[in-house]
Amino acid sequence: MSEMVEVIVDDQTFHAEKGSLLIDLLIKEKVKVPYFCYHEALGADGNCRMCMVEIEGQKRPQIACDTFIKEGMEVRSKGENIEKVRTNILELELINHPVDCPTCDQAGECSLQNFYMDYGLHDTKITIPEKEKGLKKVDLGSNVILDQERCVLCARCTRFTDKITGTHELGIIGRGDHAKVSTMPGKKLDNPYAMNVVDLCPVGALTSKDFRFSQRVWFLKTVESVCHGCAKGCNIYIDHNKIKYQDDVIYRYRPRRNDEVNGFFICDEGRLSYKGLQENRQHEIVLDNEVISEDEAIEALKDLVKKYKSNITVIIDANLYTEDIEAILNFSKEIEANVCAPLDIYRDEDFKDDMLKSAQRAANYKTIENLSLETKIPEKCELLINFNHPGKFEAERSIDFRTHQDPDAAFILPLASYVESSGHITNEEGITQHCQKALSKNDPLPTVIEWLEKVSV
Amino acid sequence: MSFTFSNENLLKIEALKKRYPSPKALTLPCLWMVEYQEGYISMDAIEEIAIHTDTPPMEVYRVATFYTMFHLEPQDKRTVQVCKTLSCKLCGSDEILAHLNKKDLNIVHAECLGSCGTAPVMQIDDVNYENLTIENVDEILKALK
């Protein structure tokens, strides 16, 4: 580790590593500094010029993202002078901006909008009424739509495809007023992490085809959770909203920064995995093609357990929360059942890559491994109680707790999905993380724990 | 429609490669070679340059779009660059332009072509034609056909 030095920012003293970037210190210490192009994952580019600060001894304002920390540096991030500089730069950014915030999906989480409220608030000096026009809807591929007019040319998206994915699909073509983000003619944005450019885009130039025009962002409620797409355990924000007279619905997943697990990004498949949670859900309790009430179901379940007393097998899905797994283990002990959790079915070598995707496509498989549960089911089992395990198993009689519909199941009991309950999961690196409950449904389905409480009384 | 460099150009590329620390520096010379060889820069040519310069095709494409001298589509008309800067303007480039505009040509308004002493000037295929009058413009164009 290199030497720590003292830096004064707006009369406050901070300590920072010598030679590190000034903007990193400002972001870390929550000093308000506007920027479009800088991103901690992509590094400095220095093209937007918004992060200007005054440095004692320097003639002109300097950009914080290209200033290295030196001993005894005195920085001013506030004041009339520097704010005027920022206003002027912002004015340049806004020359060709269409200011179509009312129809823009980014409105509410747009850097340009925020900075205008902080440093702009000016009347335009441009007397020519024509703005440089661009295409409003360019399908770049991979669910990403480009609006050329809104772009501020910060190059975050192009740097993402250059530095992070290394696929080099995006670039800024042309120059001056005509410069725009584009793919090669006839080529598309095509990589499994492409939708991260939508989050990276500080303005509404890149929007997600999936989320476009579905909600205004200020109506969305956000909870912190973990993606269940694979064993990597990428941290996410779940944005959901309950529109009046309708049910609580997830509108999007966004990556949540966690340097220990996923860094800044998530894969597109994980990002869109919320859709599967809202389709083909099982809502009723069905026994032999007949919808029955909860009380009848509990009675039937108890009868079956009593009948097959000596030969019951419980199967656990490796996506369940650790709390749920523990409850199942206790229940199994109570009814003296074999417990097993077959893991082979989750393995998907095609899914794996060397960024974030893991071949183990079960979020909590590490807990199953740690508990050293049996992974092979017995050859012959009479009664099989399956807790949402995706596999198909032979048995004389089976009871299926399912989040999703299963046409083969004879006795099926609906389960809440992971976004409808909370709990912990342990990822493949052994990091245990908490998932908050996101959705409060109008007709909530019981969780595993709730079912087992009802059954065991 | 694939593109290959002529043998002569390939030799040039090999010679130039020794001059620079990284082959990326050959992007502009290669683009010029393609422009002269084919008259325009096709996407196949860009892919080919990307291989020679060891850069992503997108990077080459960006450079090609940045400079107005490179054409990305085949040119069906002869390109004539007419100087629109001060000396030529004063010496009557407007009339020359008006005359040329009647013809089936691709007219480009160029900034100073560096020949103010012999204004007005136009440039066709890297050659400056100086001291233009309406009559000698016609002669020049006739001679070129």
Q: What is the mean pLDDT of chain B?
A: 91
Which pLDDT score, from 0 to 100, does residue A122 have? 75
Superfamily the domain B79-144 falls into: Glutaredoxin (3.40.30.10)
CA gap A431, A262 in Å, rounded: 12
DSSP state of A445: P
Which pLDDT score, from 0 to 100, does residue A457 have? 61
pLDDT tens by residue, A273-307: 999 988 899 998 998 888 999 899 998 888 888 88
Whether A148 and A132 have beta carbons less than 8 Å apart is answered as: no
Convert A43-54 to b/e letters by CB count within 10 Å (16 or more is b): ebbebbbbbbbb
pLDDT band at residue A157 using 50, 70 and 90 as cut-offs: very high
If you measure CA to CA, which chain B residue comes closest to A167? Answer: B56
The yes-or-no answer to whether B7-66 and B79-144 have a common fold is no
Is the pLDDT at A374 greater than 80? The verdict is yes
Q: Which CATH architecture has domain B7-66?
A: Orthogonal Bundle (1.10)
| Helical (H) or strand (E) element with A154 | none
pTM above 0.90, yes or no: no
Is the pLDDT at A199 greater than 80? The verdict is yes
Contact B62 A162 (CB under 8 A): no
If you measure CA to CA, which chain B residue comes closest to A188? Answer: B58
Cα distance between the two ends of chain A: 59
Q: What is the mean pLDDT of residues A392-415?
A: 88
Q: Residues near A275 by Cβ (< 8 Å), separated by ≥ 6? A: none
CA gap B60, B29 in Å, rounded: 11
If you measure CA to CA, which chain B residue comes closest to A172? Answer: B62
Which pLDDT score, from 0 to 100, does residue A1 have? 60
pLDDT tens by residue, B83-126: 989 999 999 899 999 999 888 888 988 889 999 999 899 999 88
Region of residue A200 (left: phi > 0; alpha: psi -120 to 50; beta: else): alpha
Which pLDDT score, from 0 to 100, does residue B76 have? 86
The full set of domain ranges for chain B reads 7-66, 79-144
Q: What is the mean pLDDT of chain A?
A: 90
Question: Domains, chain A, ranges and CATH?
Answer: 4-78 (3.10.20.740), 101-208 (3.30.70.20), 285-456 (3.40.50.740)
Which pLDDT score, from 0 to 100, does residue B54 have? 93
Contact B43 A175 (CB under 8 A): no
Chosen for mutation from B44, B47, B60, B62 (greatest number of chain A CBs closer than 10 Å) is: B62
- Return the half-sphere exposure (C-beta side, CA atoms, 13 A cut-off) of residue A31: 23
Q: How far is A161 from chain B (nearest CA, A)?
A: 11
